[in-house]
Structure 1
Amino acid sequence: MEGAPVIVQPPGADGGRRVTIRGEYVGTAYHLLDVVEFLRVAGLPESSTTVDDPDLIEWRGMGPRAWTAAG
């Protein structure tokens, strides 16, 4: 596999973060539980430690604890 299958973009103006899984847009997450739910629906690991797994999720711009737009 090349890169992480899950990409989470930096927060937008409303705090939502666009999420893609295997190159397909799956929704906008407004908190960490949304990301966990996207993982569950996609059949990927969804435990509390998976959000810190760089082989599974690439957090762009900010890490998994950031849910407001920078600036």
Structure 2
Amino acid sequence: MRGAPIVVHRISATVGRRVTVRDQIMGLAHSDRDLLEFLRQAGLPDAEELLDDPTWVEWGGGRAHEYKPDDPPG
């Protein structure tokens, strides 16, 4: 079984998370807003409800929805 088609990779040293959709690099997200724009560009215009669905999105390293090391939880 393959993993989730959307991967939000671990937080980078320069802040932000690389986003891949079906192994294609979409860019570096600095917020959920950036992430949603990448998903819109990938053909998923209503992806907001998918962000917390592990069958769609894998959040690598750190908590979901955090984009810099000092983001507070939640």
- Scaled by the length of structure 2, what TM-score is found? 0.80
Task: Give the unaligned 5+ runs of structure 1.
Answer: none
Identity %: 41
Q: After superposition, what is the alpha-carbon deviation per residue over 1:17-71, rounded to whole angstroms, capped at 9, x for unaligned?
A: 0111101111000111111111111112412x2110111110000232211137x
RMSD between superposed Cα atoms in Å: 1.7
Q: TM-score, with normalisation over the residues of structure 1?
A: 0.83
How far, CA to CA, are the matches of 2:52 and 2:28 in structure 1? 19
Structure 1 stretches (4+) deviating beyond 3 angstroms?
none
Runs of 5+ unmatched residues, structure 2: none
Residue 67 of structure 1 is matched in structure 2 by 67
Greater relative contact order, per chain length (Cα 8 Å cut-off, separation 6+):
1
Alignment check: 8 A CA contact 1:10 1:69 kept: no
